[in-house]
Structure 1
Amino acid sequence: MKALVVYESMFGNTRMIADDIAAGLRSGFETEVVRVGEAPSEVPEGTDLLVVGAPTHAMTMSLPRTRREAAREVEDPERGLQLEPLALGIGVREWIGALPPATGIYAAFDTRATAPRLLTGRAATRIAARLEQLGLIGCVRPESFRVTMENELLAGEAERAREWGVEVAGLAGARLRSGSRAR
């Protein structure tokens, strides 16, 4: 079985979470991880599971404007931030919006600030909604991984991402083995 993990990342946190999720997925799936700017223009044939993640910006998926605003944070030398390759290019919102209808199973995740969801929003729920509009079926609830206000992953989030990847692999694998792609 094959999985594709597509992620958007500004400063590296979402990339690290994507890599950790992929490590967990490898318990049941041959897994490839790609930046959204290098992702294929359609879900590749033979992909059984699509996992998509992005940072939460302005309570949802990023926009070109919010990516530019976030990129300005690297100008503050005290922050110690470095911009990820392709961070200012296409985002998950635009990538999903350009995908043709697809079939298969998906899982969605995001990174967001450590604060109540009411204050931060969640990109993962919008990612999930958009993937369902394309015809994909979720195998697990969208998941959030937390970063501090200083833009660092909280302790334990990498391990939790690997565990979530194992969980997703198990749930998606069971659904695929049973031949059921229905909720």
Structure 2
Amino acid sequence: MSGYEKNALITGILVTALIVAHPAEATDKGKQMPLGVVNGLVKDNQRVEVTRTLPSPELYRETDVANLPTELRIRNASARMGDNGTVWLTISEPLASGEKMSVTARIAIWVDGTKVPTGYREEGMDVVLPVPPAQKEVVLRSDAPVTLAVPAGWRGELRQEMVIEGWMQ
């Protein structure tokens, strides 16, 4: 451990609000994933990084055959390609202090029970994931632990919202 890395304790709650919105009708299917009190490492004396496995890796699921999406839109996100057809998503949000917190997750799309490789495109502040044609279900999963990054001096509760919309084109 270098002189700039040390253990820190933060209280964090990762809130993943999942909103499935179809152009004709919007349905709110939100869920919370509390992480509880977490320990992290201070990086470069500026940020605390915490890596945790989510209680449920499933971030989005659509099983209504009439509403199976052809693309998923993640609001206020950035992305980069991962390995084996996965995508790394980062959602950032300002804190009350003006500093930013972020959550980074490696995600994969599952169509009808099979993991499928995906790409992405960025549209403004959103990331759009194309979804291959599905017959029964579309699932977006985090297939690795997520990384929560906050300013080193931050103490208190954290809430990060991930908005995912399924669209039929």
TM-score (norm 1): 0.28
Larger Rg: 2
Q: Taking structure 2 as the reference length, what is the TM-score of the superposition?
A: 0.29
Q: Which has the higher helix share?
A: 1
Q: Relative contact order (alpha carbons < 8 A, sep ≥ 6): 1 or 2 greater?
A: 2
